[in-house]
């Protein structure tokens, strides 16, 4: 019996492919190893699937060398789901108790605190936004996400400042106990824990009609992955950029001060390749920036990952750093510029990698223009 | 349980390799040995399908400097182990297979662009860079190298040079050997050398050309200065249908003789034509010729006008730009089919690229087609064109009897290359020799093979560098 019978097509197509996404894999590019590319990882799973290679710790760890950024799929005519295969392999590893130490440690810590940062995020959130924004009757809630609460409280404030300027007074901040979607649990293969968490989150979000989400990976979890583990989320889910876009399209944003510096925009993987949002952020940036926005040579569907996806910062922080450094090379070329993105993970990874670069969230940049 | 054959690690070798490369850049991990046990030789893929990994390397190392490679070569001579230079492993002839074990030397960490010399129109770059990365970097600065092999996504500059590769636009930009102006390399005894940079010279044999195409048997190329071009300001596309291959070949020869230089020239046989036209929802019988032109607009207009006139005067029927444009947009797409085909049991697939002067081209085409079609389905196109001749690219595809896939594969190659030599062709236009074509390359080279063998014996008396490739056993 094949260990990954449901993924046989993906595994075989990559194994017998002439490595046509080789150049695009940020992990393979960072480590320079064929073993760490989709072709290399899937080749080894091919032998596992055929029962010729043990699904041992070494093989398992290799499946964690994927950012789940999906850039490989941009260059795959078969739309082969490599990240999905890696996530299945990780889940199987957890099920079989072949768990990398870092994953085990992450799990223990997470389960103790219901988040990966070890703090009471709701208490933190209460310290960030005014009491009035905690409204139990609200039908539309803002779910800032762990990354924003812990690292970017200013983005939360900027979001509400912006909403106020747009005349949107019906959005409350989500006051649930759980302030994470469980994205990292899922990417690390901790599916049982993820499902339990998803059920709790779904229960807490049940009372809203719409949830506006600050972190695109959370938005993706809510919109798609919860369903995959059998958890139905009642409210409609929008990423903040999806919510804001119509206001710009209808010229309803009172822009007063155009942002004067040069800006380069980084497409987060989960906002771009996963949620398909490429034009919205650019439309908004065009409206609030004095100069035309600059583009990375790898942008939109070809956008390079920041290094923060797929649980890589947990299992392989060295790879995460190298991927981020690679991405930042173009920012450091030529004139000084502000790096804008729309994801707290990307923002954090970039700032940790190079503190000299100004990195702003799209919402902050818009708020500055009011 | 492991797919790898059992072997005992050489602890002393590991510790000495780590002295050069550190712990992080030496591996004997099972996963790494599996991944580096093959390149993209379809015969290896047939083995993978049978869960066979016959030739894993003992170790893999990732050098960062020529100095480290030099130390590795000295150690290899001292301890007598093979060293196999490795780019991205996209070769299709087994050129990087560690058939005698040893150490794979993966050059991809040496991937820096050193200088972009706009005045000289050259770029100096470490050869571990992946082709697509180099091309994108050049594009960002308004240049192109003009080298577009269908493996560009998964191959390195070092691989291009070692295998003497060709890009799809080689009619305009030349093959890789036409682009190289200077090399840095490490010889088997550890000597690091740099050739002299000059547009042209009359200073004895061309040392660069001795190293290009040597498939890592004479030296490890570490850095190259390559000619570059301004990114094309304009592109145009034209397509024609000819009643038969010969008429099409004659038309191409005539416009090439007049100095017309399209970027790509591809003339398809009937089967290839039917498939190409089907892909764009057009129907046509005969032989499709696609031409692409690129460069300064006024110049390419002239080239296209003359090519068009000659094609129309010599039996061609205009098909508009769509077939050529479609090919250009999807020029790497054909390679994706390999996954579907080779992941299916019993299927056998490969491509055979040979070349001949104009006078013998049709004879070569007919002879090889006949030899191959006895065993398997074959289709072909004229893929790369030069003033004095062209390359023919055969695609062979079929289902073998269960358990006899490799037998069929070997038989096809045996008969194809035998026919090639008999018809006066050369056994490779751009894929190289590797293990696959070694025997036939020796036959083709004849007495000239002595030059290569004696050069190898003099430079690498212990046969350290990539043994068993290029007929140098």
- Other C-beta atoms closer than 10 Å to the C-beta of B313 total 10
pLDDT of residue B197: 86
Measured between CB atoms, does A333 come within 8 Å of chain B?
no
Measured between CB atoms, does A328 come within 8 Å of chain B?
no
End-to-end CA distance of chain B: 33
Residue in B closest to A18 by C-alpha: B40
Measured between CB atoms, does A58 come within 8 Å of chain B?
yes
Residues 355-384 of B with CB under 8 A from A: none
pLDDT of residue B11: 93
The token duo for B254 is 């005539």
Residue in A closest to B349 by C-alpha: A16
Q: Does the beta-carbon distance from B154 to A22 stay under 8 Å?
A: yes
For residue A177, pLDDT beyond 80: yes
pLDDT of residue B473: 79
ipTM over 0.85: yes
Q: Phi-psi region for residue A311, left (φ > 0), alpha (ψ -120 to 50) or beta? A: left
Counting one residue from A and one from B, how many pairs have CB atoms under 8 Å apart? Answer: 116
Measured between CB atoms, does B84 come within 8 Å of chain A?
no
Residue in B closest to A23 by C-alpha: B153
Q: Does the beta-carbon distance from A20 to B128 stay under 8 Å?
A: no
**pLDDT > 70 fraction of chain A, expressed in percent and rounded:** 100
pLDDT of residue B278: 84
Measured between CB atoms, does A24 come within 8 Å of chain B?
yes
DSSP codes joined into one string, B282-334: ----SEEEEEEEEESHHHHHHHHHHHHHHHHHTT-EEEESHHHHHHHHTTTGG
Q: Does the beta-carbon distance from B153 to A24 stay under 8 Å?
A: yes
For residue A181, pLDDT beyond 90: yes
Please list, residue by residue across B364-376, b when 16 or more beta carbons sit within 10 angstroms of its beta carbon and e when fewer do: bbebbbebbbebb
pTM summary value: 0.97
Q: Name the maximum alpha-carbon separation found in chain A.
A: 65
Residue with tokens 């490799």: B406
Q: Does the beta-carbon distance from A34 to B35 stay under 8 Å?
A: yes
DSSP assigned state of A259:
B
Q: Cβ contacts (< 8 Å) between A53 and chain B: which residues?
A: 1-3, 34
As a residue count, chain B comes to 473
Q: Tell me which residue in B140, B333, B343 faces A297 most closely, judged by beta carbons.
A: B140
For residue A1, pLDDT beyond 80: no
* Regions of chain B where pLDDT drops below 70: none
Give pLDDT tens digits for A101-127.
999 999 999 999 999 999 999 999 999
Domains defined along chain B, listed by start: 11-106 (3.30.43.10), 113-230 (3.30.465.10), 234-329 (3.30.70.3450), 333-448 (3.30.300.330)
DSSP assigned state of A289:
B
pLDDT of residue B362: 98
Distances (CA, A) of B219 to B73, B186, B263: 10, 6, 32
Q: Cβ contacts (< 8 Å) between B152 and chain A: which residues?
A: 23
Give how far B130 is from chain A: nearest CA, Å.
7
pLDDT of residue B399: 97
Q: Tell me which residue in A13, A20, A62 faces B153 most closely, judged by beta carbons.
A: A20
pLDDT of residue B446: 97
Query: What does the angle CA A31 – CA A148 – CA A165 come to, to the nearest 5 degrees?
Result: 130
In B100-146, beta strands by DSSP E: 103-106, 113-117, 122-126, 143-144
pLDDT of residue B198: 85
Measured between CB atoms, does B138 come within 8 Å of chain A?
no
Determine the 3-state secondary structure of A279 from DSSP: helix
Among the listed residues B322, B134, B142, the one whose alpha carbon sits nearest the alpha carbon of residue B232: B142
Q: Which residues contact A363 (CB under 8 A, 6 or more apart)?
A: A155, A158, A159, A162, A214, A240, A244, A342
DSSP H/E element including A184 = helix A183-187
Give pLDDT tens digits for A2-60.
899 999 999 999 999 999 999 999 999 999 999 999 999 999 999 999 999 999 999 99
Asked if residue A276 lies in contact with residue A303, where contact means CB atoms within 8 angstroms, the answer is no
**pLDDT, average across residues A67-89:** 97
């Amino acid at each position: 019996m094949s260990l990954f019978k449901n993924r046989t097509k993906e595994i075989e197509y990559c194994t017998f492919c002439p490595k046509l996404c080789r150049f695009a894999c940020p992990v393979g590019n960072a480590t320079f190893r064929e073993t760490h590319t989709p072709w290399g990882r899937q080749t080894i799973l091919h032998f596992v699937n055929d029962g010729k290679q043990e699904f041992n710790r070494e093989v398992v760890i290799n499946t964690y060398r994927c950012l789940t950024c999906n850039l490989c799929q941009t260059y795959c005519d078969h739309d082969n789901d490599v990240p999905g295969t890696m996530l299945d392999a990780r889940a199987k590893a957890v099920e079989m108790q072949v768990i990398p130490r870092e994953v085990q440690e992450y799990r223990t810590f997470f389960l103790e605190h219901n988040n990966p940062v070890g703090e009471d995020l709701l208490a933190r959130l209460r310290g960030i936004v005014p009491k009035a924004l905690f409204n139990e009757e609200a039908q539309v809630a803002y779910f800032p996400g762990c990354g924003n609460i812990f690292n970017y409280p200013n983005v939360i404030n900027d979001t509400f400042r912006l909403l106020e300027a747009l005349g949107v007074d019906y959005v409350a901040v989500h006051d649930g106990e759980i302030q994470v979607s469980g994205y990292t649990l899922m990417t690390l293969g901790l599916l049982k824990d993820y499902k339990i968490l998803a059920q709790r989150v779904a229960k807490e979000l049940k009372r809203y009609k719409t949830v506006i989400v600050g972190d695109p990976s959370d938005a993706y979890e809510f919109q798609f992955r919860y369903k995959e583990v059998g958890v139905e989320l009642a409210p409609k889910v929008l990423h903040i950029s999806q919510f804001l876009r119509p206001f710009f399209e209808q010229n309803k944003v009172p822009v007063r001060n155009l942002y004067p510096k040069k800006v380069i925009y980084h497409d987060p993987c989960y906002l771009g390749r996963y949620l398909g949002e490429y034009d919205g952020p650019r439309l908004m940036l065009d409206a609030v920036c004095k100069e035309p926005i600059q583009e990375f040579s790898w942008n939109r569907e070809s956008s390079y990952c920041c290094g923060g996806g797929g649980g890589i910062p947990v299992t392989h922080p060295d790879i995460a750093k190298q991927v981020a450094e690679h991405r930042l090379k173009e920012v450091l070329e030529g004139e000084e510029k502000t790096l804008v993105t729309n994801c707290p993970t990307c923002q954090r990874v970039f700032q940790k990698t190079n503190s000299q670069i100004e990195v702003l969230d799209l919402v902050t940049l818009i708020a500055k223009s009011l | 349980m492991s797919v790898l054959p059992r072997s005992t690690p050489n602890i002393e070798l590991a510790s000495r390799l780590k002295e050069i490369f550190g712990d992080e850049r030496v591996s004997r991990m099972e996963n790494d040995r599996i991944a580096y046990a093959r390149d993209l030789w379809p015969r290896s893929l047939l083995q993978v399908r049978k869960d066979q990994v016959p030739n894993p390397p003992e170790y893999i190392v990732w050098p960062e400097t020529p100095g480290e490679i030099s130390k590795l070569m000295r150690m290899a001579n001292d301890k007598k182990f093979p060293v196999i230079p490795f780019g991205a492993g996209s070769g299709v002839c087994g050129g990087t297979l560690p058939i005698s074990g040893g150490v794979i030397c993966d050059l991809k960490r040496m991937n820096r662009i050193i200088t972009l010399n706009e005045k000289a129109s050259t770029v100096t770059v470490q050869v571990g860079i992946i082709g697509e990365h180099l091309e994108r970097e050049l594009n960002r600065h308004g240049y192109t190298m003009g080298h577009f092999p269908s493996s560009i996504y998964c191959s390195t500059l070092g691989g291009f040079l070692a295998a003497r590769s060709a890009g799809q636009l080689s009619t305009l930009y030349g093959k890789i050997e036409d682009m190289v102006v200077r090399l840095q390399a490490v010889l088997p005894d550890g000597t690091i050398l740099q050739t002299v940079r000059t547009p042209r010279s009359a200073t004895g044999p061309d040392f660069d050309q001795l190293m290009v195409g040597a498939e890592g048997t004479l030296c490890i190329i570490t850095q190259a200065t390559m000619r570059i071009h301004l990114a094309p300001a304009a592109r145009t596309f034209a397509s024609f249908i000819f009643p038969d291959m010969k008429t099409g070949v004659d038309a191409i020869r005539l416009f090439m003789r007049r100095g017309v230089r399209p970027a790509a020239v591809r003339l398809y046989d009937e089967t290839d034509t039917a498939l190409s036209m089907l892909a764009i929802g057009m129907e046509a019988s005969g032989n499709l010729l696609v031409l692409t032109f690129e460069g300064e607009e006024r110049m390419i207009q002239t080239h296209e006008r003359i090519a068009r006139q000659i094609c129309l005067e010599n039996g061609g029927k205009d098909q508009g730009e769509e077939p050529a444009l479609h090919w250009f947009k999807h020029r790497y797409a054909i390679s994706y089919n390999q996954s579907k085909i080779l992941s299916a049991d019993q299927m056998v697939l490969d491509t055979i690229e040979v070349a001949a002067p104009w006078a013998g081209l049709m004879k070569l085409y007919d002879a090889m087609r006949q030899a191959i079609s006895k065993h398997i389905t074959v289709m072909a196109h004229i893929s790369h064109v030069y003033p004095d001749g062209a390359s023919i690219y055969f695609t062979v595809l079929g289902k073998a009897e269960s358990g006899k896939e490799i037998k069929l594969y070997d038989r096809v190659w045996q008969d194809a290359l035998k026919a090639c030599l008999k018809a006066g062709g050369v056994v490779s236009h751009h894929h190289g020799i590797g293990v696959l074509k070694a025997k036939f390359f020796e036959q083709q080279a004849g007495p000239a093979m002595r030059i290569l063998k004696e050069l190898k014996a003099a430079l690498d008396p212990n046969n350290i560098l990539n043994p068993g490739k290029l007929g140098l056993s």
